[in-house]
Amino acid sequence: MNEVKTSYTGTASQVIVRQNALIRQVYAWMGAGLAITAFMALITLSSPDILAAITGNRLLFYGLMIGELALVFTFPAPSTV
């Protein structure tokens, strides 16, 4: 397992550069996740069969919800900055 650094050595400007890089990575992952979500919503809403399958089958609906949460909690977060 990768260990996360909790203390940084260097000048204040070096720490700020590292923090900015981390924030850029966080926003890049969030943007990618939002883009994937929008694409999947577009596909789902443009197909009446898929929409009917998800809204008509309670097991499928909750299975997708639980699967999404499981994916979020188990997806390995990049820890290299």
pTM of this prediction exceeds 0.75: no
Cα 61 from Cα 48, distance rounded (Å): 15
Cα 19 from Cα 81, distance rounded (Å): 9
* Long-range contacts of 61-66, Cβ-Cβ distance < 8 Å, separation of 24 or more: none
The tens digit of pLDDT for each residue in 13-57 reads 888 899 999 999 999 989 998 999 899 999 999 999 999 999 999
Tokens of 40: 């999947």
| SS3 at position 27 | helix
The tens digit of pLDDT for each residue in 56-70 reads 999 999 999 999 898
